[in-house]
Structure 1
Amino acid sequence: MSEPVRVAVIGGGRSGEHDVSLGSAASAVHALRGERRWAVVALTIGRDGCWSDEHGQRLTPAEAVTVLRGCHVALPLLHGPHGEDGTIAGFLEVAGVRYAGSGVGAGAIGMDKWVTKLVAAAIGLATAPGTLVTARTAGEYRWSGPVVVKPVGAGSSLGVSLVESADGIGPALTRALRHDDRVLVEQVIRGREIDVAVLGRADGSRVVAPPLEVVAAGIFDHAAKYDGTAEFRIPAALDEVHRKALEAAAVEVYDVLGCRGVARVDFFVTAAGLVLNEVNTVPGFTARSQAPRMFAAGGIDYPELLAMLIDDALGGRPAAVPA
């Protein structure tokens, strides 16, 4: 029997999504350990940025690199800043460790909602009209109608607020600025919220999962994402025209950002057409998270999805034993 593929699963991180990331990593570790072809090495980055193994033993960065370089491939499941934004990809690149998922550039662009809007405009894809506000200019912003206030570089809808009156803009900006020193203030888009998950294969092909519709009472904020009140409808009820348009737009965004692995591209479907909301290059990755559930609805279960991610990171070739 061939040697198991050694997979380093990395969870935690320094962002506000630390606990969400721990959940994604724990779910992946559990699933991978259910199959003999994988030998899993579980690593955690604490909120303080320090590495540790699954026994809680602290590791210096140099020790962490040694562990990682003893694995065939890494599966980083860090959501938000200091991970999903390309920083963990950069760390692995410098360390010479093969890894699953998007690289430095795609992670940095996808995490930056303002830059993502600029990229979308360049390819002719609509986004919500918005204004970039900084800590220095926040006091100058004047409310002119219902808006959504969100940090430019935070995930899991942390710091996101729907502002429906002028007296709410100041507190909303203050909340958002706790998570980032740049804030996006966008006009409210009325439409159906539809998410599309894309998996890039090593041969250059793309697998698009059945789309998911988010049905929530009010804004789909951090609380609604995790308190069970939002409903996920998979597959979203769409006619063929809208489904194909969403799939094509999601793949175009995936490709133009240079994504790898799994990315979730979120849209609003409005009477005027598609509006890009955001891109998640490391979406939630428990078996019950949106992207894995979407692929499961398309016939790719969670263990198979993990295997596809890892195999593609290895270039579709058998794993070489690390030196």
Structure 2
Amino acid sequence: MYRVMVVFGGRSGEHEVSLASARSVMEGLRKAGHEVVPVGITREGRWLAGEDPLRELEAAAGGNAGSPSGPPALAAHRPPAELESVDVVFPVLHGPYGEDGTIQGLLELADIPYVGAGVLASAVGMDKITMKKVFAHHGLPQVRWVELTRRRWQERRKELLREVEEELGFPCFVKPSNLGSSVGISRAAEPGELAAALDAAAALDRRIIVEAGVDAREVEVSVLGNEAPEVSVPGEILIRKGDFYDYEAKYSEGGMELEAPADLPQETAGEIRRIARTAFEAIDAAGMARVDFFLERRTGRVLLNEINTIPGFTATSVYSRLWEASGLPYERLLERLIELALERHAEKKRR
């Protein structure tokens, strides 16, 4: 059994999602017999270690700024000293400053094994524009898309509106390039909505991506492994709230349902799994990832949407539920991820 540091919270807009994931991960690790060292990061970037940093962050998220009773937690803009005494770190930080290679770089400098993708794969997987360029290099099928920057949009509004309309048409989807989990995504059905969507995305990120809308089913798979990744059965996302799979549909109660396994032809399911494995390897991912797809209703064509290197990780999240449907229960999934982290760290040592 191992001493596992679970790091959660963080500075991104997915702070609360991270807390929910962390609670499930820590419960699963304890059930498996591991010693858990919980470490929280506040929205301001302070690291909390002590008796119950999760409860402290949950209290703050609920509007209660007071700390729990007991010894005071460490509160500093630096990792806690416990980092040097753990066997492996399990980052459960969604979005920027956690899923983008930043904490992975810190752990690389400290020479500590950690669960999940390394610096390069994390950064590429976080940046939608760079990710799509890598996928295009590998010949993977995707929706049509256009990239622009905040400055270009501010200086050439009419020209860019015309360019997007000619290249993609309507409806289209506007996304900040470097925010995760459907944060800041807007659907535009006409030029006025497109301008408002670009303004909203530009307020959140310097780089913006616009994607063509497609009439499609949304299908996802989970990937697990290092050099020889395995892919779960596909699951279909059935949206119950809203017009598309936005943040509210993803995380609000009753916003979506997962059908796993998805009702797909065997050939289509095999194609989705093949593309997911290629995408995982294309960015040099490790440990885990969830890969999202569009399946066009009219043509049946499979289109790769994106890869997430730190997916939601509660026992009822899509990533873990797809492995459950594939015959791998939650606690065993956590065990396997720790094994993969230690294997990868040992492999690096042999350089």
In the superposition, the TM-score normalised over structure 1's length comes to 0.92
SS in 2 for 1:231: strand
Given candidates 313, 332, 338, the residue that maps to 1:310 is: 338
How far apart are 1:61 and its partner, in Å?
5.2
What amino acid maps onto 1:51 in structure 2? W
Check the 8 A contact 1:74/1:99 in 2, yes or no.
Answer: yes
Map of 1:58 onto structure 2: 74
Q: Compute the displacement of 1:170 (Å).
A: 2.1
Q: Residue 181 in 1 paired to residue 196 in 2?
A: no
Residue aligning to 2:15: 18
Alpha-carbon distance between aligned partners in 2 of 1:279 and 1:234, rounded to the nearest angstrom: 19
Given that 1:212 and 1:234 are in contact with CA atoms closer than 8 Å, whether structure 2 keeps it comes out as: yes
Which region of structure 1 is more displaced relative to structure 2, 162-171 or 279-288? 162-171
Total equivalences in the alignment: 311
In structure 2, distance between residues paired with 1:232 and 1:240: 19
Equivalent in 129, 140, 163 of residue 188 of structure 2: 163
Aligned residue number for residue 114 of structure 1: 129
SS of the counterpart of 1:92?
A: helix
From 263, 269, 286, the counterpart of 2:314: 286
Question: Paired residue for 2:179?
Answer: 154
Aligned residues with identical type, % of pairs: 39
- Matching residue of 1:91: 106
2:233 maps to 1:218? no
Q: Distance in 2 between matches of 1:23 and 1:181?
A: 29
The equivalent position to 1:29 in structure 2, one of 26, 30, 39, is: 26
| DSSP-derived class of the 1:245 partner | helix
Quick one: distance in 2 between partners of 1:132 and 1:205?
33
Q: Residue 69 of structure 1 aligns to which amino acid in structure 2?
A: E
TM superposition shift of 1:169: 1.5
Amino acid at match of 1:239: P
List alignment gaps of at least 5 residues for structure 1.
319-323
Secondary structure of the corresponding residue to residue 315 of structure 1: helix
- The CA deviation at 1:195 is 0.6
- Does residue 244 (structure 1) correspond to residue 270 (structure 2)? The answer is yes
Once residues 234 and 272 of structure 1 are traced to their aligned partners in structure 2, the CA distance between those partners, rounded to angstroms, is 19
Q: CA RMSD in A?
A: 1.8
In structure 1, the partner of 2:290 is 264
Cα deviation for residue 276 of structure 1 reads 1.1
Alpha-carbon shift at residue 316 of structure 1 (Å): 8.7
Q: Which amino acid aligns with 2:144?
A: P
Q: Which stretches in structure 2 are left out of the alignment for 5+ residues?
A: 54-72, 347-351
Q: Residue by residue, what CA displacement relative to the aligned partner does 1:139-187 show, whole Å, maximum 9, x if unpaired?
A: 4221522110111011110100111122111221122223211111111
Aligned AA for 1:303? E
Give 1:321's aligned residue: none
Cα pair distance change 1:316/1:127, threshold 3 Å: closer
Provide the C-alpha distance between the structure 2 equivalents of 1:84 and 1:74, rounded to a whole number of angstroms: 14
Would you say 1:44 and 2:40 are equivalent positions? yes
Report if aligned partners of 2:172, 2:212 keep a CA contact under 8 Å in 1: yes
Q: Is contact 2:5-2:38 (8 Å) kept? A: yes
Deviation at 1:317, TM superposition (A): 11
CA distance in 2: counterparts of 1:316 and 1:284, whole angstroms: 22
- For 1:98 and 1:249, locate their aligned partners in 2 and report how far apart those are by CA, in whole Å: 28
CA distance in 1, matches of 2:344, 2:102: 25
Deviation, 1:136, is: 1.1
The 8 Å contact of residues 224 and 230 in structure 1, kept in 2 or not, is answered as yes
Q: Which runs of 4+ in 1 moved over 3 A?
A: 59-63
Instruction: Give the deviation of 1:273 after TM superposition.
Output: 2.1
